[in-house]
Structure 1
Amino acid sequence: MAQRCDVCGKGPSVGHKISHAHNVSKRRWLANLVSLRAVA
């Protein structure tokens, strides 16, 4: 499943994970996407 919404275009956000000792590393916050079936 792709991490981008087909309807609204919402995707992952990028930022930093910071530990208590202030070690910084990159991380991604993934959008909470749920598969739905469209009824026509």
Structure 2
Amino acid sequence: MARKCEICGKEPKSGNTVAKSKVITKRTWAPNLQKIRIITSDGSVKRKYVCTRCLKSGKVQKAV
């Protein structure tokens, strides 16, 4: 599965999980991507991976 939003370019971020005992472990935060059918600027319908923030903000138009 693609791990990048094709609209805004949001990608996984990396960092550390810090336990109560101060043990540090590497981890990643992945964006919430959905594979949906969208209407492109030229009017055609394509399937793309889009993050839920782009869907909610109205940056893309879902094809029905």
TM-score band by shorter chain is 0.7 to 0.9
- RCO higher in structure (CA 8 A, sep ≥6): 1
1:23 aligns with 2:55: no
- 4+ runs of 1 displaced by more than 3 Å? none
Aligned-residue sequence identity (percent) comes to 35
> Residue 34 of structure 1 aligns with which residue?
34
CA distance in 2, matches of 1:32, 1:38: 17
Gaps of at least 5 residues in structure 1 are none
SS of the counterpart of 1:36?
strand
CA distance in 2, matches of 1:4, 1:29: 12
Choose between structure 1 and 2: higher helix proportion.
Answer: 2
Please give the root-mean-square deviation of Cα atoms over the aligned residues, in Å.
1.0
User: How many residues get paired?
Assistant: 40
Choose between structure 1 and 2: higher strand proportion.
Answer: 2
CA distance in 2, matches of 1:22, 1:9: 33
Which of the two has higher C-alpha Rg?
2
1:14 is aligned with what amino acid?
S
